[in-house]
Amino acid sequence: MRFLPLALCLLVLPSCSGDKGPTEPDHANVAGTWDAVITVVGSTSEEYGATLTLAQSGTQLTGTWLLTQEGLGGEIIGTVAGQTVAFTVQQGQPCPGVFNGNGTVDSAGTTMSGSYSGSDSCVGALATQFSATKR
């Protein structure tokens, strides 16, 4: 019977080892200000500079964007899963529209690239590619 407490201790110790089972994957930190270049895909291949200001709470992403030359901007909402960002862009006046896209953040968390598409009231359907660098 003296060995019973020792045996119980040995059975209980592994559960106190700090191992909490599978861990949640790390997610890229996209919070901050990003300088972006947006390229329209298609016959025009126009390029625009933009500033993205993003906030992140866990996997949730919110923020704003502003084209530096045009003054056109809007809101961004999305999610971050690992190094992948999925988002919706709400474009404001004078050309309201909605765009959906995806991007990938590098392992250092300093660059992001991807694409988005949708339509607005001025141009209609539009597809773009973007690259951004965190300040």
Burial 107-125 (b: 16+ CB within 10 A, else e): eeeeebebbbebebeeeee
**Model confidence over 78-104: pLDDT tens digits?**
999 999 999 999 999 999 999 999 999
- Does 12 or 51 have the greater pLDDT score? 51
CB of 114 closer than 8 Å to CB of 99: no
Task: Enter the pTM of the model.
Answer: 0.80
The C-alpha atoms of residue 80 and residue 95 are separated, in whole angstroms, by 27
The C-alpha atoms of residue 76 and residue 66 are separated, in whole angstroms, by 11
**How many of the other CB atoms lie within 10 Å of CB of 86?**
15
Tell the CATH superfamily of the 23-134 domain: Quinohemoprotein amine dehydrogenase alpha subunit, domain 2 (2.40.128.120)
Domain boundaries, the chain: 23-134
**Model confidence over 36-61: pLDDT tens digits?**
999 999 877 799 999 999 999 999 99
What average pLDDT does the structure give for the chain?
A: 86
The whole-number average pLDDT for the span 13-26 is 55
